[in-house]
Amino acid sequence: MDERTSNKNMDSCIMDTQESSEDEGEEITYFEESSESEPEFECETWDDCCQILPRIEGIQTFTGRHLVPTCDNEQFVSVEKKIKLCFTLNPKLLTNDLQNIWKANLPTSTENLEVITDPFKICVVKDLLENAALLDRLRQELYSINFNLRSMDLYEFFQSKDLKHLLDSDCIKMLYDFLNTDLMNWVANVTGYNLTHISATCSLYSNTDYLLVHDDQRDDRRVAFILYLTDDSPWNIKDGGALQLLSKDKFGQPLEVVKDVLPSNNQFVFFPVASDSYHQVAEVTNLNKYRLSINGWFHTKVPPVFEIPTYKPQKNSLYSQDYLSPQLTDIDLETWIREDYLDRDTIQLIQKHIEQDSEICLKNYLRQEALNEILLDLQFQDLQWKKAYPVNRYSYEIADPLTVSYTLGRFLLLFQSVEMFKLLQSYTELDLDSKTARMKFELQRWTPESYALLTEYDWKAKNELDLIICFGCKNSSDVIGARTQYVVIEDEIQNALITIEPEENNMNIVYRDSARFTKYFSKQSRCQCFYMLICSYSE
């Protein structure tokens, strides 16, 4: 620092001065006035880079400290810009273009968004927020909250409380306010709907989590939305977690997946809730990925009116009213069933157990010779399978009884026989020897992505006796999901009263006064196929 610049730089330093006096010293301190244009620095290290000024009148020594630190003598300081703590829409979205595109009802793809019109209208916005970096802070706050495991017939994933109950967290509150004001107004402007309020939660899908086919119709929901909070690692179709859109058949029932929308950070998806807005979340199949999102609905004051598609159960299915009478046959029970389970003393023990617990599992029920023949004939090439439908109720395959082999046909006839009705009566003391006794059955084939939901079947119409036996998977641990559960349908949280494992050759007998469903069969199971015979008997 030379003399020509010393006076100029004195104003930018804090100076310790000492007058050349033998009697006393005096400290003179100078402070620079603050400036609103000055950047803020995080560094707390101050350096000693001012030189001593040799010739200043009245001052013997001069020691300087920079008011603005330079972080351990670094020549250049990189100033990190402060993030503005406010969620704001991407300015590119604040035009009338999207509104015009939406009204035109035409499929459109631009740099910022995509409007899909088939199988139903939906908008995918690629970069919703201008300050996407703030999502990192939001993500950290969400990781610290409590999630509840949501596990029902329709889904399995983790979910938070409604965001309105999590407003103690700064970033969550800012997001909730943004959703309830700026974003809701923007969506209302685009769609033309009069939106009044929101409901929103945070959902987290980890490995094997899923959400099956549904349409979101409920009360005053008008527009469904998803804001993705994934990390920087891109998702591909093999990872699962895609929002899948389904087409519909001529009756208005969901048919098949025709479009996949992969998760992407700062991506926003919204669509009107309609009678045909069938969608699902594909099972997450990557151990190292988490599908994190804020999702919910924009509501309206006047609930929309939806057309409910006509639904009729398939003929001769478990969900129909088509029953079979007991058949007089030449079936010999001893040919199929192990002698232990035909013994009088064993039958009494079975009866007492069912009387007490309303259910029992009889291990290795069929004779080994009979089991081997059944397993072989289930692979019979001429055996035809038809898909159970619609997929918002169940998804598995049913054997066509007219195409089964002779041995498999005899096996199915066993459960329709008068002899089996009598055996079950001795097991349960139900009046299955009466003229009104009936039964119905399905021989099912289960592969990954199969399931059977509760449906609107009238489970309370009559109490029935269910028989369930599986083939193809010796160890139930080889199957993820695919458990058959009995629940009280009125319960908001479905705690299983009885759970049946898909383990080979176990005869499960359940006196049912509750509802039955079978969980989704995970694609990550070691066992990739099994068969299940379900019979329902009534007095």
| Span 195-244, pLDDT tens digits | 999 999 999 999 999 999 999 999 999 999 999 999 889 999 999 999 99
417: which DSSP letter? Answer: B
Two tokens, residue 104: 């035109």
pLDDT at 12 exceeding the cut of 90? no
Q: How far, in Å, are 15, 230, 240, 279, 437 from residue 259 at the CA level?
A: 70, 20, 13, 10, 47
pLDDT, averaged across the chain? 87
3-state secondary structure of 224: strand
% residues pLDDT > 90 (the chain): 75
Q: Which residue has the tokens 């001065």?
A: 17
Two tokens, residue 353: 């157990």
E-strand spans in 127-241? 148-151, 155-159, 195-205, 210-214, 221-228
Q: Which helix (H) or strand (E) holds 141?
A: helix 134-143
- Binned at pLDDT 50, 70 and 90, residue 168 comes out as very high
Higher pLDDT, 455 or 19: 455
**Residue pLDDT, tens place only, 305-351:** 888 888 889 999 999 999 999 999 999 999 999 999 999 999 999 99
**What is the pLDDT at residue 80?**
55
Please report the sign of the dihedral spanned by the C-alpha atoms of residue 35, residue 37, residue 42, residue 46. negative
Determine how many CB atoms are found less than 10 A away from the CB of residue 429. Answer: 11
**What is the pLDDT at residue 205?**
98
366: which DSSP letter? Answer: B
Give the type of residue at 528.
Q
Domains and CATH numbers, the chain: 1-82 (no CATH), 91-300 (2.60.120.620), 333-538 (2.60.120.620)
> In 3D, which of 274, 278, 202 has the Cα closest to residue 244?
278
**Among the residues of 2-54, which ranges form H helices?**
3-10
Torsion angle in degrees (nearest 10) through CA of 272, 277, 283, 288? -20
**What is the pLDDT at residue 456?**
86
Give the pLDDT mean for 278-286.
98
Greatest Cα-to-Cα distance within the chain, rounded to the nearest angstrom: 130
pLDDT at 37 exceeding the cut of 70? no
According to DSSP, the residues that pair with 366 across neighbouring strands are 337
Give the pLDDT mean for 489-501.
82
Q: Name the phi and psi angles at 441, rounded to 5.
A: -155, 165
Give the pLDDT mean for 275-290.
97
pTM beyond 0.95: the answer is: no
pLDDT at 59 exceeding the cut of 80? no
Two tokens, residue 525: 């199971």
Give the pLDDT mean for 114-126.
97
**What is the pLDDT at residue 69?**
43
**What is the pLDDT at residue 92?**
92
452: which DSSP letter? Answer: E
Alpha carbon distance 496, 491 (integer Å): 10
Alpha carbon distance 389, 397 (integer Å): 9
